[in-house]
Amino acid sequence: MNRRAMMLSVFAVAVVTFAASAWFTTRPASVVVTATVPPEQSEALLRPCSPILGPKEASGSVVEFFDPACKACCGLYPVVKYIMAEHRDAVRVAIRYTPFHGEVSEEAIRVLEADRMQDVFEPVMEALLREQPRWASHGTPAPGLMRENAAAAGLDVEAARTQTLFPGTMGVINQDRADVETMGVRQTPASFVNGGSLDPFGEAEMRALVAEEVAASYS
């Protein structure tokens, strides 16, 4: 290679390196923007009847609009668990039922409410999410399979047969359905951190905002 060709080669590499470096330092950062829930929606965000994971008095509050038949909700759950483990007793997660998948979602919610009455809500929810591809794959309720999964996680199936039919269970579903409309939730999962919605919504953004809120509570 002659001297001129070598110099051109070095120059080309330098240009590419400079361009890559400039892109890296000036590329748009992932910014968490929160929109605070307006006062007229604050009551609809969280109800006293909503299931709570973690200590109720925790300073960091996550409200998740959740469909047990939703694949994305299933995918987000390990992230939620990681956030709770990372911040220990400083974070609580409230579950709002969002039965967007129709009858199969409602049947799963009935089972979850029976679990809650029996104080086995969290382990049974995890079992249903783990087995979600089996009972939710065709959008048709499979109460026998759901209850089989739930029983393996601690549900008293015989007691649940009555509990899933309690008027209060349908009352929770109807209240959450009405609140979903009020909040304008159109897809799941949809999460709110300390009364603010995430934009953009993602694992990194959710973790960053929860960490910020928890840190602020200690300052």
Instruction: Label each residue of 53-91 as H, E or C.
Output: ECCCCCCEEEEEEECCCCHHHHHHHHHHHHHHHHHHHHE
- Name residue 169's amino acid: T
- Asked if 30 and 205 touch (Cβ cutoff 8 Å), the reply is yes
- Asked if 206 and 79 touch (Cβ cutoff 8 Å), the reply is yes
- Asked if 186 and 72 touch (Cβ cutoff 8 Å), the reply is no
Question: How far is residue 24 CA from its own chain's centroid?
Answer: 31
Whether residue 211 is contained in a domain is answered as: yes
Whether residue 139 is contained in a domain is answered as: yes
CA angle 141, 129, 156 (to 5 degrees): 70
pLDDT at 33: 54
The count of domains in the chain is 1
Whether residue 23 is contained in a domain is answered as: no
**Domain of residue 96, residue span:** 39-217
Whether residue 33 is contained in a domain is answered as: no
Mean pLDDT per 10-residue section of the chain, whose length is 219 residues: 43 34 34 69 92 92 95 94 93 96 92 96 96 82 85 95 93 96 93 85 86 85
pTM of the model: 0.80
11-68 pLDDT, tens digit per residue, is 333 333 333 333 223 333 444 556 688 887 889 999 999 999 999 899 899 999 999 9
Whether residue 24 is contained in a domain is answered as: no
Whether residue 72 is contained in a domain is answered as: yes
pLDDT at 9: 41
Q: What is the CATH number of the domain that holds 151?
A: 3.40.30.10
